[in-house]
């Protein structure tokens, strides 16, 4: 028997991120006044404070800002998946715009800081998870 993973519990700051992933889109919030992209986003734009954030689809391309191989389960729901690679991925649309995710379809030890990646999606009910895989042609699969 495996323990349940913690599910997706959307809130106002991240609902469009989870819903977007369910459609196969990487979505962050964009300020309609100053254009700043934010993830996660609080109640209003972190740069100009305008209350004008709207979901915006990203290309899904980015680079690994940092990563770690999870070698022991910090939650019983993930015990069957170790080892796996957690990463912060910096999206190509804006400097320092990062999402926490997993890098998949590559040997864990082969994931390095700076690796070019692209988004892949795993549906979860009405929502979904944005994961990443190597973006280059010759990358391990």
Q: Under the rule (CB under 8 A), what is the footprint of another protein?
A: 3, 5-9, 11, 13-14, 17, 39-40, 42, 65-72, 74-76, 78, 81, 84, 86-88, 96, 98, 100-102, 113-114, 124, 129, 131
Q: Which is nearer to another protein, 17 or 36 (CB)?
A: 17
User: Minimum distance from CB of 33 to another protein (Å)?
Assistant: 21
CA 28 to CA 26: how far, in whole Å?
A: 7
User: Minimum distance from CB of 121 to another protein (Å)?
Assistant: 13
Nearest 5°: CA angle at 21, between 46 and 134? 95
Using only the alpha carbons of the chain, give its radius of gyration. Answer: 16
Q: Which is nearer to another protein, 127 or 134 (CB)?
A: 127
Order of strands, sheet of 53-57, starting from the edge strand that comes earlier in the sequence:
37-38, 27-31, 53-57
Q: Which is nearer to another protein, 16 or 137 (CB)?
A: 16
């Amino acid at each position: 028997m495996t323990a349940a993973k913690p599910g997706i519990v959307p809130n106002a700051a991240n609902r469009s991120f989870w819903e977007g992933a369910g459609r196969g889109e990487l979505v962050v919030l964009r300020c309609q006044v100053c254009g700043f992209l934010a993830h996660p986003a609080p109640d209003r734009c972190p740069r100009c404070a305008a209350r004008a954030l709207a979901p915006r689809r990203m290309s899904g391309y980015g680079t690994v800002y940092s990563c770690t191989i999870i070698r022991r389960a910090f939650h019983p729901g993930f015990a069957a998946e170790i080892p796996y690679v957690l990463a912060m991925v910096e999206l190509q649309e804006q400097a320092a715009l990062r999402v926490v995710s997993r890098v998949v379809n590559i040997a864990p030890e082969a994931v390095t800081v700076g690796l070019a990646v692209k988004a892949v999606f795993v549906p979860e009910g009405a929502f979904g998870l944005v994961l990443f895989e190597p973006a280059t042609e010759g990358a391990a699969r």
